[in-house]
Amino acid sequence: MAHEAQKAIARQSLLLKSLPDQHVDTLLSHAIWRSYDRGETIFLQEEEAKAVHVVLAGWVKLFRMSPTGAEAVVSVFTRGESFGEAVALRNVPYPVSAEAVSACEVMHIPSPLLLSLMKEDPEIGVSILASTFTHLHSLVAQLEQLKAQTGAQRVAEFLLNLCDAKPDGCDVELPYDKMLIAGRLGMKPESLSRAFSRLKTVGVQINRNHAVISDIERLRDYAESDPSDK
């Protein structure tokens, strides 16, 4: 069953962290805990949602297949992040598919349980809205990036997010393979390669899945500069 370490991660997730301990215990004890291999499907687009999912370890991608078979990556989640909240509570089909992109551990909270707890304590609804809002926000940010930035600039932002609040000069590991990064940023792997070489001119070195950023501010300027004057 579930290890204590996993439960600890689940408790820190955005979905659960603001809930009273009592409810969290109920949810954790009724949750389903599962491992997935790399490449395994967690659920498919159009399938009916029966649970909310919390990633405890590894990486999960949400993606959509267009009628032509092209795949558009919508988001990528890792430890402590949850998805499927808004869908699970409405008994509607998933708008996306979910797949493990590395070996991973996922906790599934059955939606009927969540619904019944919600009737007792409206605070749960607020918690769910909180994580749903976070997703909404990140989709909006992605839309802005796609519409207003070039490929290389999106890659720059992606790298900046990886080194987050670190001070100056920065080494980061790329969290998943370049094909997935390309999908997440809405470009082909070849374009990602070229974007990386372009970023060499603003002090970024890529070696395998390791990136060295010599000057974070310079990279930030590049990401936020007007695409037309470069």
Residues of this chain that interact with DNA (CB under 7 A) are 150-152, 177-179, 186-197, 206, 208-209, 227-228, 230
Which one of DNA, a copy of itself, none interacts with residue 189, CB within 5 to 8 A by kind?
DNA
Which one of DNA, a copy of itself, none interacts with residue 67, CB within 5 to 8 A by kind?
a copy of itself
Closer residue to DNA, CB minimum distance, 15 or 156: 156
Binding mask 49-78 for a copy of itself (x = CB under 8 A): ---------------x-xxxxxxxxx----
**Distance between CA atoms of residues 16 and 67, nearest Å:** 36
- 195-212 burial string, b = 16+ CB within 10 Å, else e? bbebbeebbbebeeeebe
CB 109 within 8 A of CB 54: yes
Scan for tokens 């290890």, then name that residue.
3
**Helix pair angle (21-30, 111-120), 10° resolution:** 160
Closer residue to DNA, CB minimum distance, 87 or 195: 195
Residues in the chain: 230
Which one of a copy of itself, DNA, none interacts with residue 161, CB within 5 to 8 A by kind?
none
143 binds a copy of itself, rule: CB under 8 A: yes
